[in-house]
Structure 1
Amino acid sequence: MPRHHATPRRFLLCPPAHFKVTYSINPWMDPTKPVDVPLAVAQWEDLRDRYRSLGHTVEELEPRPELPDMVFAANGATVIDGRVLGARFAHPERAAEADAHLAWFRARGWREVREPVHVNEGEGDFAVTASYVLAGRGFRASPLSHGEAQEFFGRPVIGLDLVDPRFYHLDTALSVLDDRGDDVMYYPGAFSPGSRAVLARLFPRALVVAERDAAALGLNAVSDGLHVLLPQAALGLFEPLRERGYEPIGMDLSELLKGGGSVKCCTLELRP
């Protein structure tokens, strides 16, 4: 069994103080279903506190009343080697979130901060491994954003086509388990045949996930190299992760699922 080690991470999260579902821009969102904001806040606080209990640093982005989806902080930027590539959202309902994120980074002295030309939704569609930046496309991010990211970060960007609208962002279809060892898990049905072939070639030892666990947003997970925080409803992933030497930790973010996100969507990693 592989030996895995946790490494301290730095995360940016945004409290869901103003979370609600008043529009629908993905298949998970239904404005007719009420949102329990106090419960959403309690679930989010449990995630934040769990990160801190594992030795990670959590910083908080101030939520804005007019931006109910700000809780999904992963969409606001991508940070690699201390360089910040901002987001440009596909839907006007979320467009102002990009400026809120850029302002946060600039106010705290991050020097290399770029406002993008092409549509990308941060770590929603960019996943970082030891060797690559994996980049989703098909529902939100523009394919042109991939070249923009490669030029900015100086890392090879691998484009992957998403074909199932339930998995509209890459972080709903694939998760990086060990960013030092290129270990990932993914749901093949979310990808085009060619992209499945690319994933099989790049990651022959990947954990291939069943549809039922992917449909529970089990791939919207965060790993520190050892601990894997994931939706507790993805029951079929816990034993396979343990068999690979990881320690899965189930989280209940059921209220935030009404907006189409879970653990990863709430978590932007600030990579130094």
Structure 2
Amino acid sequence: MTRLLMCRPDHYGIYYEINPWMDRGHQADRGVAVRQWEALYRLLTEGLQVQVELLPPVPGLPDLCFTANAGLLVNGLFVSSRFRYREREAEVPHCTQWFAERNYRVACLPEPAFFEGEGDALFCGNDLFAGHRFRSELHAHQLLAELLGLRVHSLELADPWFYHLDTCLCPLQPGRAAYYPEAFSPASQRLLKEAIPELLPVTEAEAKRLACNALVIGRSVVVNAGCPHLSRTLTEAGYHVHEVETTEFLKAGGGPKCLALSLDRDGS
């Protein structure tokens, strides 16, 4: 992952409640959020030499900064999200326009299948894992597999606090991932163990700090601050760990990974 899409949180805030993290009475501090986003941006662009493209922020779309939810890009085809909640529907035309203007092919799954992009679709090596229940639908996985010509491993999420797959699974490299087991149904826990030989479990306390919502850049992993167990595990496994503060984004159920969409996936 060397090219990412991000969006400044200039209009970010907690203006509705569509997951258990969000509480309009526990408002995010936008100034702090901007500073945290800028620190992440500097780490990626200056520290890790990542090329970051910017999606323009739009007034009235507070969650547009969570670009991972915009869709899924594979082999130059951008599969746009269809959000379950109407509060986020207006993000779609802005995201699809950005990709269309840059000559990406753009597609959307047939209605009424809900699909929420990289929030619920993650590659581990060449294997695509997709979450369903709280946001994306199981039926969308079949449609996604047909559209992309790829096999999709469907994972049922079991805890509404971990409403997207990227809140509880972090692919690190082919055959290895960090995960929070209790976020998955028993059958999906078994599927993960069969499909990914090396799974690194995350503690409950760190899972609730969205430890799995990490950005993996080669052997570097950008992790939410306050996750010492995962940071130590990753360091011992040979990764370079970079901790960042995302306290204001946690109030909406987001972390470092939510704030970036991969532009590099070639599906090969």
Is the contact made by 1:135 and 1:146 (CA closer than 8 Å) also made in structure 2? yes
Instruction: Give the aligned residue type for 1:137.
Output: H
The answer to whether residue 233 in structure 2 is matched with residue 240 in structure 1 is yes
Q: Distance in 1 between matches of 2:52 and 2:191?
A: 34
Is the contact made by 1:131 and 1:156 (CA closer than 8 Å) also made in structure 2? no
Size of the aligned set, in residue pairs, is 262
* TM-score between both structures, scaled by the size of structure 2: 0.95
The answer to whether residue 73 in structure 2 is matched with residue 79 in structure 1 is yes
Q: Distance in 1 between matches of 2:258 and 2:234?
A: 20
Picking from 247, 260, 263, the partner of 1:270 is 263
The answer to whether residue 88 in structure 2 is matched with residue 94 in structure 1 is yes
Q: Distance in 1 between matches of 2:147 and 2:217?
A: 25
Q: Distance in 1 between matches of 2:134 and 2:144?
A: 18
Identity in percent: 38
The answer to whether residue 20 in structure 2 is matched with residue 12 in structure 1 is no
The answer to whether residue 177 in structure 2 is matched with residue 184 in structure 1 is yes
Please report how far the alpha carbon of residue 82 of structure 1 lies from its aligned counterpart in structure 2 after TM superposition: 1.8
2:45: which partner in 1?
52
* TM-score between both structures, scaled by the size of structure 1: 0.94
Q: Distance in 1 between matches of 2:175 and 2:43?
A: 25
Please report how far the alpha carbon of residue 226 of structure 1 lies from its aligned counterpart in structure 2 after TM superposition: 0.5
Q: Distance in 1 between matches of 2:204 and 2:98?
A: 37
Q: Distance in 1 between matches of 2:7 and 2:180?
A: 28
Q: 5+ unaligned residues in a row in structure 2: which ranges?
A: none
The answer to whether residue 143 in structure 2 is matched with residue 148 in structure 1 is yes
Instruction: Give the aligned residue type for 2:146.
Output: E
Q: Distance in 2 between matches of 1:132 and 1:40?
A: 33
1:175: which partner in 2?
170
Is the contact made by 1:20 and 1:37 (CA closer than 8 Å) also made in structure 2? yes
Is the contact made by 2:222 and 2:243 (CA closer than 8 Å) also made in structure 1? yes
Is the contact made by 1:131 and 1:182 (CA closer than 8 Å) also made in structure 2? no
Instruction: Give the aligned residue type for 2:69.
Output: N
Q: Distance in 2 between matches of 1:41 and 1:97?
A: 20
